[in-house]
Amino acid sequence: MTKVGGSIVAYTDRKWESGVLLGTGDVSIHFRLIHYDTLSMLRNSLLWASTNPFLAERLPRARFVRRATKRFMPGEEFRDVIKEAERLRAQGIASTTTLLGENNNSLKEADAVLGHYLTDLRLIDELGLDMEVSVKPTQLGLDFGIKEARSRLLELAEATESIVWLDMEASEYVDRTIDIFLSVKEQRSNVGLCVQSYLKRTPDDVARIASCDCSIRIVKGAYNEPESVAFSNKKDVDRAFEDLTATLLRGRAQGGVGRVVLGTHDPSMIGAAKHIASDLGLTEDQYEFAMLFGIKRREQLRLASDGHKVRVLISYGSAWFPWYMRRLAERPANLWFVAKQLLP
Ligand SMILES: Cc1cc2nc3c(=O)[nH]c(=O)nc-3n(C[C@H](O)[C@H](O)[C@H](O)COP(=O)(O)OP(=O)(O)OC[C@H]3O[C@@H](n4cnc5c(N)ncnc54)[C@H](O)[C@@H]3O)c2cc1C
């Protein structure tokens, strides 16, 4: 149990409990217990909302919701991304961009997404920005077949020398995403894959793809997954993140050329990565940190000024509702920020 200012926070295996210290001595300590299960329910409700078509249709029209999203995305247009990327570049921070949206309804939509990214890549090149793109497999047509998504990913990779990152979506897509990634990798080396530490299968997946000396971004994972496939306990997710970090950094220390990107805002994960890297004799430029736009800005700057490679993922587009709900679920305290937008 740890004491933090006037409150007490206790971590147990199953519960997260917090209480307010009202006096001194054991008898006057009153606890207001917030069970891990309550936070977990809130998180699950937000993740449920992220897949609800009724809410997706109505909530984005509310002005207070639109105002609140500004914190996580500069705007709906790619020109909004460029403005922020240039500002970050001046601070020594590179960027990645993603067009929001998932699960297209038709291949025509997948073609429109492809067209968007091809235009973005041309503009990035013209402006000489250090910006990469990160794409969701279902945006490229994965729901219509592996071949459909594969051909569009290949077209994107052929249009640039930079890495084209493949996001990892819900667990049902993992096998197909890895298949597409490995298949395109045989033709173009400039593709990278995101893996999620909350999935119990990920260490086996990483072992399977390790032989291709791939560029990999490790994240904790943002979807609502059943306990049969994913760890539900933060401690387990964090431990898995550190283990994956150690595995991939070891590969780097043994001469691997694939990039190792740690997509996290968690100070413990960042600290652990630095520690592991230094034990392995890796220098700051042999691994990277990636964070989301608007989150832990000070930490982004601090890492960059300490000589670390930092990349910020800037999202844009009109289909932001499910993505935004996942950001709220990551930190339910963000709901206060949304509520504040209701004030005049
Ligand atoms: C570059 C990048 C790419 C990603 N790509 C994918 C992907 O392809 N697939 C996927 O499933 N997930 C992806 N994610 C999301 C990821 O899975 C996590 O949900 C997210 O990064 C939060 O986890 P965390 O490591 O920051 O740790 P957490 O333990 O969730 O958070 C650590 C601390 O960071 C801060 N923080 C974290 N999230 C927020 C937030 N939303 N708002 C405010 N503060 C916050 C808080 O201070 C929190 O205490 C990506 C994340 C990043 C940074």
Protein residue with least CA distance to atom 49, ligand 1: 266
Q: Cα(184)–Cα(173) distance, rounded to whole angstroms?
A: 16
User: Which pLDDT belongs to residue 342?
Assistant: 56
Atom of ligand 1 nearest to the CA of 221: 17
Tens-digit pLDDT profile for residues 267-291: 999 999 999 999 999 999 999 999 9
Q: What distance in Å separates the CA atoms of residue 225 and residue 47, rounded to the nearest whole number?
A: 10
The burial of 142, by beta-carbon neighbours within 10 Å (0-12 exposed, 13-18 middle, 19 or more buried), is given as buried
**Which residue's alpha carbon is nearest to atom 9 within ligand 1?**
168
Cα 344 to middle of ligand 1, angstroms: 30
Cα 321 to averaged position of ligand 1 atoms, centre (Å):
17
Whether the CB-CB separation of 342 and 64 falls below 8 Å is answered with yes
Domain ranges of the chain: 1-34, 40-73+323-344, 76-319
Q: How far lies 83's CA from each of 87, 136, 148, 333, in Å? A: 6, 23, 33, 28
**Which of 16, 299, 330 for mutating ligand 1's site (highest number of atoms within 8 Å of CB)?**
330
pLDDT tens for each residue of 189-226: 999 999 999 999 999 999 999 888 899 999 999 998 99
Nearest to 83 by CA among 297, 314, 289: 314
pLDDT in tens, 144-165: 999 999 999 999 999 999 999 9
84-108 confidence digits (pLDDT tens):
999 999 999 999 999 988 888 899 9
Q: What is the pLDDT of residues 4-33, one digit of tens each?
A: 333 333 333 333 333 333 333 333 333 344
Beta partners for 230?
199
Q: Cα 129 to the chain's mean position, in Å?
A: 21
Region 76-319: CATH code: 3.20.20.220
pLDDT of residue 327: 77
- Residue 205, Cβ density class (10 Å: 0-12 exposed, 13-18 middle, ≥19 buried): buried
pTM to 2 decimal places: 0.83
Q: Pick the residue whose CA is nearest to atom 51 on ligand 1.
A: 263
- Predicted confidence at residue 18, as pLDDT, reads 35
Q: DSSP letter for 173, please.
A: G
- Ligand 1 centroid from CA 29, angstroms: 34
Confidence at residue 43, expressed as pLDDT on a 0 to 100 scale:
75
Q: Does position 242 have pLDDT exceeding 90, yes or no?
A: yes
Q: Report the pLDDT value the prediction gives residue 28, as an integer from 0 to 100.
A: 34
Nearest to 191 by CA among 158, 151, 221, 168: 158
Q: Helix, strand or coil for residue 33?
A: coil
315 alpha carbon – ligand 1 mean position (Å): 14
* 38, amino acid identity: T
The answer, yes or no, to whether residue 341 has pLDDT greater than 70, is no
pLDDT digits (tens, 9 = 90+) for 31-40: 344 455 666 7
Tell me the two tokens of residue 132. Answer: 């990469």
Q: How many residues does the chain have?
A: 344
Which residues lie with the beta carbon below 6 Å from any ligand 1 atom?
167-168, 194, 196, 219-223, 263-266, 269, 290-292, 295-296, 313, 327, 330-331, 334
